[in-house]
Structure 1
């Protein structure tokens, strides 16, 4: 089924190649035009020099042409060779340098395009695979498309020039390169197919080997590798992966060898290096219908036709790869967001009621809902906690509140309006959030807190936010303060924070938020903190939130005692709700979870 899905027609391949050229030309049409012209001039000039000028020179030397005329042709040939070398240098150096900038510009726009995509697309394997392939190959594929199209057009022009020379001597000579091209075309696609299948099998096997190898080099695995016997199964996995790769070689290697040998013998040996010289020798020595100049120029023309047909042959294979890539490229560009960047109302200043009415949600390609018929109301300034086991739907609930997803059924109301009626960016200004899968970026500490470029006057805000998140003592030990570079991605002097320190930096983003925020959401961002630090952090958040609505998502139920109301999620539904005391008196699922966790802190 996968192969059928990846198969596209020749017409579509051509359309895709044209699309890629047009897409690149939107950014720099003069550059694309110049590269194509350079390739055409290079191919055409070499064809003229190696056929017509060569014929004139040899015939002049073996005949009775005047020396001055022969020298004129030689000088023309020399100037042409110098110009062709200059053109080739432009193709190799100048054009590639220019294409790097072009590819970078296109890559930047792809990043911008993807930043506007709805989060739900990241949960769609088909979209995510498409984006990864396009993003990873954009630079190479854009450059490759321009080069392959240019080579093909240049090769066609050169073929025309060489063919004119062939037909002025003997049309039969054209049969040999055409026969070689036909055999090469048939065998080349077979060779590419075998190489592709071999490469897929090899990569699949070596991916396992690479994982086993990486484990032994990465510091986060070092302790377990030294203290346990995990290295034994990893070595077995490594050896098994190498055996799989070797088996793939034994399966595909001989087939590839024999068909490649057939390709070489027929295309290059018989039809090129044997048939053409033999036939030319017959015409010159037996029939005596051509002179030495025709022999040399016809041989060059035939070889030129063969080499250009062979190059076009490889270009056809490249066109197939380009067509497959462009299909994904076009699909990516066709994705249109329905949430990100949407226009609409602007929420009124100040806090408002946030209400969910019979909300259900289902992920793409899923057979069942993640959330079912959720109804609740969060009043301004209210502190609520959402608790439950993994997979209960807590994080999905939060993403719906932030309108990272849209509900499947029901509605989420804020200030009397469905949140889908608001401009997405304006609505999200009301919300500050820290997720459990937060990130620390290879940037300064201040930039990691503000999540934007640091401006004059931001220092006090950053320091205050870090102190509120209990990062003050660590900040005092950093010699560069808030200008400290985090991670060692780009600087050997960068600072790597511990898990708990990283979480405090992530949480400080809440305190550094703009004044328009009325809702703060914490989706288990303090999981790496000890219970005392977590309690202190949450208390700081509540003390500094003033009239903010706060939504806690937590596994640790010690946090919930500070909440005005608690919602226990189970299997995507609200199983229990109430204050801490009410749920303890209910003696249900919440009481069971709280008592079980409380035992872990009893000495």
Structure 2
């Protein structure tokens, strides 16, 4: 078992987290563990007193206990009963305190994980398979954290029982505790090795577990339910889940089987180590060296040393595995955002006069060498609306992610009013951008919150929220909701009402519109993809009106929407291959012309 510095650091951090989250429970559990550890030793010693006293008093007499009330028997019996009562009570109280500790410390660990991940300014952790594996292990690490602290608590019980028992066995002979300890030592090493290679196997199966969770989500959540059934996909996903599960289980079973045989083999040595002093004590009792009370005490102590050693060994193994599991949890807590984090003045942004400029911007996603954007040069002038068009996968949405600083470019720079956006306060930057995402969120909360997320300060301004709903063409849908703005949306909450695809998109538009009073840039990524043709015209007119006087970036594959832009940029394989007005690009009869005429022909 290799307890290196990193593992010791992990244990220390887990204990500190637990102590800060539940200080009262920690100290109480420590005291209760001490009582549970020492009590069995005291009971053994009381047993010795009772046996020796009974042996002395019996002496051929037939009187019962009442005849010996003045002896040590009555107080010894009372002490025995009291200790049993105390142990039972302590065990019950300890169980309740463990539950309290689990809830408080586990809740704090999960809160820290949620706060850390939610606090990342970039989204690379969600789009990098390796980072996703670590995040998945970190989520499990919250449970491992609880397991780690529980194992340490049980180890303390074993330690508090082991120390006095170990010392008292020296009264038999000086070599007895050494034999018991040394013959148990190989099992300690073996358990550590078993836990280490078991963790290696668990890590190697992280991808299989991630795919299993993906298939579970597809089979168990509403968003996929219709198509899964209409296309008869249950067997397909169940088959893939079963295949991944079997692969994972075979690997884990093989590791456990290997570990079982290793532990069983080395446990033989421990058993022989316990047998030697046990036989020695029996021989001493038969020769009159020890009393019957001594025999009972020493036999019990030998058993107690073995039991406490086994408890520490196997809880140590559990602790070791838990340390491995908690590692990714702290690894995520130690992660830093991929974005540059130099301190900036809080008033780093004002009203833009120079617009936005992309200068030779190139970008590859973390963990990939493929350039998604390469050598991008693009400008948005104050008050100008530009459109970004191109085939799927051309890099259009990635460009908007860079502009919102969900990522930073690998090369080149993006400037806002002449300042590199990496030098601007990120919250101020995002406050000045109103975004309608292509993959807009279906927040399972009330309609009020869904719109109000656009500007939390206006969450309680019903008139403003209803105005935004009307501007987005959602006013009729809101009026028909059972509780109006306070109706839960979706089917995950009790009393929830689901919306159509178009209504969810209009809700996303309303959310973006709420930010427009202070927004200097509007980003519309396929803003009408789920809206019917009649509503599309109304929504587009609203967006055009609100975009006046602001910079606007429209990402679309619908040519009529791009046609109204002041300038159009055509992306192809991560590069801008054309730029100009609709009229100019049609006259050039190149990529844009081909895309436009192909799409127009589909309507004829």
TM normalised by structure 1 equals 0.86
- Please give the alpha-carbon distance, in whole angstroms, between the structure 2 residues aligned to 1:203 and 1:374: 37
Task: Give the alignment partner of residue 59 of structure 1, picking from 32, 40, 52.
Answer: 52
1:567 deviation in Å? 0.6
**In structure 2, C-alpha distance between the alignment counterparts of 1:429 and 1:208, rounded to whole Å:** 36
Q: Distance in 2 between matches of 1:514 and 1:584?
A: 32
Structure 1 residue aligned with 2:17, among 13, 23, 28? 23
What is the aligned partner in structure 2 of residue 373 from structure 1? 375
SS in structure 2 at match of 1:290: coil
Q: 2: distance between equivalents of 1:289 and 1:77?
A: 26
CA distance in 1, matches of 2:210, 2:424: 46
CA–CA distance in 1 between the matches of 2:477 and 2:328?
A: 47
Aligned ranges 1:356-505 → 2 under 5 Å: 356-451=358-453, 457-491=460-494, 493-505=495-507
What residue in structure 2 maps to residue 141 of structure 1?
Answer: 144
Distance 1:420 1:243 in 2: 47
**Hey, what's the Cα distance between the residues in 1 that align with 2:212 and 2:404?**
41
CA positional deviation for 1:469: 1.4
| Cα displacement (A) at 1:230 | 5.5
Establish whether residue 117 from structure 1 lines up as the match of residue 111 from structure 2: no
Give the superposed CA RMSD. 3.5
Matches for 1:538-553 after TM superposition, within 5 Å: 538-553=540-555
Structure 2 match to 1:42? 36
Match in the other structure for 2:598:
596
Distance of 1:458 and 1:121 partners within structure 2:
35
Greater Cα offset, 200-209 or 451-460: 200-209
| Compared CA separation, residues 392 and 254, structure 1 to 2 (3 A) | closer
Q: Tell me how far apart the structure 1 counterparts of residues 434 and 405 of structure 2 sit (CA, whole Å).
A: 13
Q: Distance in 1 between matches of 2:248 and 2:394?
A: 42
Q: Match of 1:129?
A: 133
Aligned to 1:572: 574
Kept in 2, the 8 Å contact 1:362–1:369? The answer is yes
Asked if the contact 2:172–2:281 (Cα under 8 Å) also holds between the matched residues in 1, the reply is no
Q: Deviations over 1:412-439 (max 9, x none)?
A: 2222322222211112211111211221
Change (3 A) 1:420 1:250: closer
CA distance in 1, matches of 2:228, 2:374: 44
Which secondary structure does the structure 2 equivalent of 1:392 belong to?
A: coil
The separation in 1 between residues aligned to 2:124 and 2:40, in whole angstroms, is 51
CA deviation after TM superposition for structure 1 residue 224, in Å: 5.8
Conserved? CA contact 1:449–1:505, under 8 Å = yes
145 and 49 in structure 1: CA distance in 2 versus 1, 3 angstrom threshold: same
Q: How many angstroms apart in 2 are the aligned matches of 1:222 and 1:362?
A: 34
Alignment of 1:341-360 (within 5 A): 342-344=343-345, 345-349=347-351, 353-360=355-362
**How much does 1:220 deviate?**
6.1
> Who is 2:282 aligned against?
281
Higher mean C-alpha displacement, 536-545 vs 171-180: 171-180
Q: What is the TM-score normalised by the length of structure 2?
A: 0.86
Shift of 1:304: 1.0
Distance 1:365 1:205 in 2: 19
Give the total of aligned pairs: 590
State the partner residue of 1:4. none
Task: Give the alignment partner of residue 106 of structure 2, picking from 84, 103, 107.
Answer: 103
Match of 2:84 among 74, 81, 85: 81
Q: Structure 1 residue 244: deviation in Å? A: 5.6
Quick one: distance in 1 between partners of 2:534 and 2:340? 39
Q: 1:307 to 1:24 in 2, by over 3 A?
A: same
Question: 2:516–2:546: 8 Å Cα contact kept in structure 1?
Answer: no
Deviations 1:347-379 (A, max 9, x none): 114665112222222332332432222222211
Match of 2:63? none
Q: Report the 3-state secondary structure (helix = DSSP H, G, I; strand = E; otherwise coil) of the residue aligned with 1:169.
A: coil
Distance 2:120 2:213 in 1: 32
* In 1: Cα distance, 2:572 partner to 2:493 partner: 44
Is the counterpart of residue 310 in structure 1 residue 303 in structure 2? no
Show structure 1 runs of 5+ residues with no match: 1-6
Equivalent-residue separation in structure 2 for 1:246 and 1:143 (angstroms): 24
- The 3 A distance-change label for structure 1 pair 333 and 503 is same
Within a 5 Å distance, the mapping from 1:162-201 to structure 2 comes to 162-174=165-177, 177-178=180-181, 181-189=184-192, 192=195
Task: Give the deviation of 1:216 after TM superposition.
Answer: 6.9
3-state SS, counterpart of residue 63 of structure 1? helix
Distance 1:550 1:253, change over 3 A: closer
Q: Deviations over 1:458-477 (max 9, x none)?
A: 11111111121122232232
Once residues 313 and 47 of structure 2 are traced to their aligned partners in structure 1, the CA distance between those partners, rounded to angstroms, is 27
Tell me by how many angstroms 1:551 deviates: 0.9
Matched, 1:556 2:558: yes
Looking at structure 1, the residues matched to 163 and 278 of structure 2 have their Cα atoms a distance apart, in angstroms, of: 21
Which consecutive unaligned segments of at least 5 residues does structure 2 have? 58-67
Does the residue aligned with 2:559 lie in a helix, a strand or coil? coil
Q: Output one character per residue of 1:451-495: Cα deviation in whole Å (capped at 9) or x when no partner.
A: 16686751111111112112223223212111110122231x211
Residue aligning to 1:321: 321
How far apart, CA to CA, are the structure 1 residues paired with 2:258 and 2:22? 44
